[in-house]
Amino acid sequence: MSTGPLKRELKVVEFCSFVAGPFCTKLFSDFDAEVIKIEQPGVGDEARRRGPFLHDEPNAETSGTYLYLNTNKLGITLDPETADGREIFKKLIADADILVEDKAPGEMKRLGLDYDTLKEINPSLIMTSITPYGQTGPYRHFKSYPLNTYHASGQGYFLPMNSTSLDREPVRGPGFLGECDAGMSAAIATLGALYWRDSGGGTGQHIDVSIQHAMMHLERSQLRRFIDTGKSPNRTGMGRLLETLLRGKDGNYVIVVLSSEKQWQGVFTAMGRPEWGEQEPFNSQAGRQAHFEELHVRLQAWADNYTAEEIFLMVQKEGSASAPAYTAEQFFRSPQIEAHGYLMEIEHPLAGKLKYPGWPYLFSNISWRTKQPAPLLGQHNEEVFCDRLGYTKQDLLKLRQAGII
């Protein structure tokens, strides 16, 4: 019986690899849903082959990407390309609430595992499909990696922000932002379908999630400008008076947002020069704009006397917005991160005790923690196939010898 936010035993089957799909199901597994992760026998999830690796030693069981994305899941191996594999797959689906898959459009139909087939087995099934461009449209069969989809969303065109010229090409976006956002979008949509089903809708449904659209959704306010004005927003239009980057004496950076008279006055006060806010040319937006290079030299000369952390705290004390440009190490050592309980320690049989990022929200009435590490390849085959589906250990041996599990 679940004790987490999902309140009841929710059964999820994951037929996904790498980031988007596993991140979606992690949102369920970390909140006490039962998630059975299907991996290819002898190969496993693509994330197993992506770093970072523990001690920089490639190992399919100690990939940091895989370990983070697959906590609290039951891991099995299964090849649905075989007739027996497809039969087992259908048995898993028979009492599942949710199936999340990320195969190319048409691939599940080729396997005989498409939604129209599976809903005959389980009419209550919610099937969520995550693909780069969705199930319909002229791009649906196009191949795409995270960097391709990131820029196809229109997001990458905004980088680098504050560029002085469009002659500078767009730059690569950070990490797997689009994949994670698609996974979160898929989880939200799946919860919506679950609520509809359990509130009187009665049946499951198929959800089509486009990573391109999910990524675009992040910048909908910027892209909306095109609809309103007919002009594409770009990486040159932010305006340099909105923020400034200062380098502390320790070599670290702090960004100070200066979008109002109050923000500027707070910075001038932190510098010990409150009168600048009342004297020309720095007492108006137009004056600061016209003399920005001189102003920035003065700001940086002041910053040279302090560490980035000291600048951050001094500016905040005066009520102006600022924040350090943290490295990953600085972020995880931040007292705010520790106070919020963001990091969790989990022990893995091969990787040992490691700290993992948690979730960015806390519940007032629900206590939850990640209870088990990501599974080893095929770790729960016996538990799932024998204890849940009724196969014998001899059956498992034969299935393993045939390459089905």
- Cα of first residue to Cα of last residue in the chain, in angstroms, is 28
Query: Is the pLDDT assigned to residue 161 strictly greater than 80?
Result: no
The secondary structure of 62-126, three-state, reads CEHHHHHHCCCEEEEECCCCCHHHHHHHHHHHCCCCEEEECCCCCHHHHCCCCHHHHHHHCCCCE
Query: Is the pLDDT assigned to residue 94 strictly greater than 90?
Result: yes
Mean pLDDT along residues 270-290: 91
Distance CA 245, CA 248 (A): 10
Query: Is the pLDDT assigned to residue 71 strictly greater than 90?
Result: yes
Rounded (10°) CA dihedral 345, 346, 351, 357: -60
Strand 243-247, strand 253-257: pairing? antiparallel
Inter-residue contact 177 to 214 (CB < 8 Å) = no
Range of weakest confidence among 4-13, 76-85, 89-98: 4-13
Tokens of 121: 């087995």
For residue 23, give the nearest of 252, 178, 218 by alpha carbon.
Answer: 178
| Cut 0.85: pTM above it | yes
Inter-residue contact 374 to 380 (CB < 8 Å) = no
Distance CA 161, CA 296 (A): 18
Bigger pLDDT: 14 vs 236: 14
Distance CA 4, CA 72 (A): 13
Bigger pLDDT: 51 vs 114: 114
Q: Which CATH superfamily is domain 253-324 in?
A: formyl-coa transferase, domain 3 (3.30.1540.10)
Give the per-residue pLDDT at 108: 98
Range of weakest confidence among 142-156, 237-251, 261-275: 237-251
Q: What one-character DSSP code corresponds to residue 343? A: E
Mean pLDDT along residues 311-325: 95
Q: What are phi and psi of 297, to 5 degrees?
A: -60, -45
Distance CA 305, CA 299 (A): 11
Give the per-residue pLDDT at 236: 63
Q: Tell me how many degrees the CA angle 82-85-87 measures, rounded to the nearest 5.
A: 115
Query: Is the pLDDT assigned to residue 78 strictly greater than 80?
Result: yes
Averaged confidence pLDDT in the chain:
90
Which pLDDT band, with edges at 50, 70 and 90, does 267 fall under? very high
Which pLDDT band, with edges at 50, 70 and 90, does 154 fall under? confident
Q: What are phi and psi of 50, to 5 degrees?
A: -110, 140
Q: What one-character DSSP code corresponds to residue 384? A: I
Strands across the sheet with 253-257, in order? 243-247, 253-257, 322-324
Give the per-residue pLDDT at 219: 66
For residue 171, give the nearest of 185, 161, 181 by alpha carbon.
Answer: 161
Per-residue CA distances from 75 to 120, 381, 382 (Å): 26, 7, 10
Per-residue exposure over 191-213, b if at least 16 CB sit within 10 Å of its own CB, e if not? eebbeebeeeeeebbbbbbbbbe
Cβ-Cβ contacts under 8 Å for 190 (sequence gap 6 or more): 24, 28, 98, 100, 126, 128, 207
Give the per-residue pLDDT at 371: 79
Distance CA 315, CA 313 (A): 6
Which pLDDT band, with edges at 50, 70 and 90, does 1 fall under? very low
Which pLDDT band, with edges at 50, 70 and 90, does 178 fall under? confident
Residue type, 41: P
Give the per-residue pLDDT at 311: 97
Give the per-residue pLDDT at 239: 45
Q: Which pLDDT tens digit goes with each residue over 328-349?
A: 899 989 999 989 888 889 999 9
Task: Spell out the domain ranges in the chain.
Answer: 11-219+340-401, 253-324
Query: Is the pLDDT assigned to residue 156 strictly greater than 70?
Result: yes
Mean pLDDT along residues 5-22: 88
Query: Is the pLDDT assigned to residue 220 strictly greater than 70?
Result: no
Give the per-residue pLDDT at 73: 97
Query: Is the pLDDT assigned to residue 137 strictly greater than 60?
Result: yes
Which pLDDT band, with edges at 50, 70 and 90, does 370 fall under? low
Per-residue exposure over 276-293, b if at least 16 CB sit within 10 Å of its own CB, e if not? bbeeeebbeeeebeeeee
Query: Is the pLDDT assigned to residue 221 strictly greater than 70?
Result: no
**238 C-beta neighbours (distance < 10 Å), count:** 14
Query: Is the pLDDT assigned to residue 285 strictly greater than 70?
Result: yes
Mean pLDDT along residues 124-148: 94
Architecture of domain 11-219+340-401: 3-Layer(aba) Sandwich (3.40)
